[in-house]
Amino acid sequence: MTATSKITSKGRTTIPQDVRKAMLIGPGDVIVREIKQEGVAGVRRLSDLEVDYLHCLESTLSEWDGPFDNVAYRDF
């Protein structure tokens, strides 16, 4: 299957309905883009387990969310 869509000036695009159906994705699902080589990327749906893992990981990073840290790391 091949499907095309344009990228807006804000870098947004719409995933065509046929592609969403084939990927089994819908509103609220999380997708990840994986860079395979220059000019080639893959897109896949994150499993519920992967989403839960990322939320747990995110909760451990709050120690670096202070005003000093925001200034120190803003260029990264």
Beta strands in 18-64 (DSSP E): 31-37, 40-45
The pLDDT tens digits for 45-54 are 988 888 888 8
* Single-letter code of the amino acid located at 23: M
The pTM assigned to this predicted structure is 0.60
Helix or strand or coil: residue 59? helix
Q: Give the whole-angstrom CA distance, residue 38 versus residue 10.
A: 21
pLDDT tens digits for 2-52? 889 999 999 999 999 999 999 999 999 999 999 998 889 999 998 888 888
Residues in the chain: 76
CB within 8 A of 32, min separation 6: which ones? Answer: 43, 44, 46
